[in-house]
Structure formats: C-alpha cells, structure tokens
Amino acid sequence: MPNIVVLPGDGIGPEIVDEAIKVLKAADAKFGLDLNYEQDLLGGAAIDAHGVPLADSTLDKCRKADAILMGSVGGPKWDAIEAAKRPEKGLLKLRYELGLYANLRPAILYPQLADASSLKPEIVAGLDILIVRELTGGIYFGEPRGIRVLENGEKQGFNTYVYAEHEIERIARTAFEMAQKRGKKVCSVDKANVLEATVLWREVMERIAPEYPDVELSHMYVDNAAMQLVRAPKQFDVVVTGNMFGDILSDTAAMLTGSIGMLPSASLNQSGAGLYEPVHGSAPDIAGQGIANPLATILSASMMLRYSLNQSAAADAIEAAVGKVLDKGLRTADIYTEGFEKVSCQAMGDAVVAAL
C-alpha cells in the first residue's frame, strides 16, 4: 500500500490540498490505487505546534514515504522570525535531507486559457515546456554565507555559488532523459561569461550530452533566456538550470501560462521518491476565502501518480478531467474572464471529481 505523507502547510495550503486529496480518493476508487495518507505539519503550522518549521518526527515520516504531497508554506504571521527558523527553512531542509535534487516544473498552456496569459495568444498558444531546476545546490545552499561586520563597521552580506561535478551530472541526466520523452531538445542556462561555477556547469553538460545522441543540447546565458522566454517561449523544450536561475525562470514561465494557480511541480531524488507541490506560495492575501485555484495542487497529485507511484493511467485521467472542467467553462477567480462561470476552490475540486 503506497504511503503518502500529506503536508498542507499554511495559507491556502489546507484548502487546496483538501481538493487534491478528494480527487486522489476518486481516482483511487476508479483505478484501485490503494493509497494510504498520513497528514503532518510543515512551515508556519509546524512552528506554532513544535517551535520548528520541520519536526524530526515529520522528517522521519517523509523519509519512509513513497511520496509527499504538499500545499505551501509561509505567511506574514511568521515573517518576523529569525531567518534560520522561518517556514521556508522547513521546506528547504526537507528538500535537502531527502536529496530532492531535481525540480520539474512543466509550463503548459491549456488552450482554453490562452486569453489568460499576458502575452499574445499566438506567442503562447500550445506552449509546453519543462523547466528542470537543480534544487539542492548552488547559491541557496553554498557555504560560507551570512552577514558580517567589516573592519570599518559596515555590514556585508555574502553567499557562495558552488556546484560540484556530480551535482551537475545528475541534473544533466534528468534533463536529457526528460527530453528523450518529449521534444528531444535541452537548453542549458548559465552565466558562463561571468560565473566560474557555471563555466564548470557548461563543461559538464557538454561532457554528458554525447550519452544522449538523440537529444540536441544548446546553451544560453540567463539574461538572454529571461528575454527569450517572453519573446518566443515555444522555441524551448526542456530548460535545465541551477537553483537560483531556475527559481526565477520557472516563475516567468509560470506567468506565460496566465496563472500561477495552474502549475504543478515535482521534486525527485535518486530513489524515485518525490515531493509534489504547486509552484505558487501560500497566497496569504486570499487564504481562508475559499477562492484559491486548487488545480496546480490537483495536477501535482497527478504528477505524483505518474513519477513516484507508476500510475500513469490514473494520472492521464486526472489531467483529462481538468481539461474537461475548463472546457465546461468553470474558472476560479485567478483565471476568470468574462463569459465564464466563476467557481470556488471547493466547487472546482468537486467538478474535477465529477469529470473523473
């Protein structure tokens, strides 16, 4: 019986995760998935209960799980806490401790939502790109880091951008393998004209590429990639990049699709276990109002079925159900445009269940 640890987190997290579980239970009834759920706390909710954003007991459960389904963490209530104990640290620690080095962020524009994008429909219609972001290294984890006081009394903030060869090799392989199943193109994004860490990144990408002769490798500097993503995003198939550049570019890619509320993500480790979460944050501005879009979390649950639980038929069915609901004209507030039916978070979940 596959064991799923469910971490709703903060803000809209509990609302959207409830809808995803509802859909998973419906898929379970249809496909006999036999899933077992264990709910626990992460982020601000864990700080309130245990004084830390990720309790050791929660981490233990996650280590033993087949997959983790998460909502989102953080919010103004915990903003004043010292940096080392903030909600996001719980998530960073979870990613790091489980070795979740590969973050997969598809940016797919459902044709029904082409008008929701801020770009012209012809530039984004049919968009289907996959951003593969390295998640456990780079400047977000590099040591030394901190804020120090210089001899003249002025404060100086500092971080370290560091990548070892094995970290680049494994994310390269993930990107090439994903590309083999898609459009067979990998664009590696770096800043090799300025940063030595990414000179090595580029070298390793070149070294691994011949192992995947059916995949075409290209390179792009991150500033150009940011520009190309909004100028002609359909030129990309798989984009692979480091932690910080991936953080920024994947949010840009997210907005190409019109709503951050539509985008799922998966973070995988070498054993195939994974953490599945929507790309967006805890949206404190709309938490508790029942208006959040649960589709990113529902689609994250479907990625979980596909990548960690080997249930691609159930995953296909959930994705098709989401398409049907959009076809019917149902929209949460974030993707609503005139002429469509505005529905609540819960009604959107119910509609996906009905379409399943």
- List the binding residues for NAD(+): 75-88, 281-293
Positions marked catalytic: 140, 191, 223, 247, 251
CB neighbourhood size of 304 (10 A): 27
User: d(Cα 34, Cα 25) in Å, to the nearest integer?
Assistant: 9
Q: Please report how close the Cβ of residue 208 comes to ligand NAD at its closest, in angstroms.
A: 29
Pick out the residues of the known binding site. 75-88, 95, 105, 133, 223, 247, 251, 281-293
Pick out the residues of the known binding site for Mg(2+). 223, 247, 251
Q: Which residues contact 285 (CB under 8 A, 6 or more apart)?
A: none
At residue 179, the 3 state secondary structure works out as helix
Is-contact 161 195, C-beta < 8 A?
yes
Detail the DSSP E strand segments found in 191-236: 216-221
Output 242 or 294, the one with its CB closest to ligand NAD.
294
Amino acid sitting at position 273: A
Output 116 or 286, the one with its CB closest to ligand NAD.
286
Half-sphere exposure of 210 (CA within 13 A, CB side): 4
Q: Please report how close the Cβ of residue 5 comes to ligand NAD at its closest, in angstroms.
A: 15
User: d(Cα 265, Cα 150) in Å, to the nearest integer?
Assistant: 41
Q: Please report how close the Cβ of residue 86 comes to ligand NAD at its closest, in angstroms.
A: 8
Pick out the residues of the known binding site for substrate. 95, 105, 133, 223
User: d(Cα 294, Cα 263) in Å, to the nearest integer?
Assistant: 10
Best CA proximity match to 3, nearest among 308, 349, 270, 298: 308
Q: Please report how close the Cβ of residue 149 comes to ligand NAD at its closest, in angstroms.
A: 27
Q: Please report how close the Cβ of residue 294 comes to ligand NAD at its closest, in angstroms.
A: 7
Is-contact 170 221, C-beta < 8 A?
no
Q: Please report how close the Cβ of residue 120 comes to ligand NAD at its closest, in angstroms.
A: 22
Output 117 or 282, the one with its CB closest to ligand NAD.
282
Output 296 or 322, the one with its CB closest to ligand NAD.
296
Detail the DSSP E strand segments found in the chain: 3-9, 36-39, 67-72, 102-108, 128-134, 146-149, 155-158, 185-190, 216-221, 238-241, 264-268, 274-278, 330-331, 341-342
Output 12 or 315, the one with its CB closest to ligand NAD.
12
Q: Which residues here bind ligand NAD, judged by CB under 6 A? A: 12, 16, 72-75, 88, 91, 260-261, 277, 280-286, 292-293, 296, 334
Output 215 or 254, the one with its CB closest to ligand NAD.
254
Is-contact 90 53, C-beta < 8 A?
yes
Both tokens of 33, joined, read: 């998935």
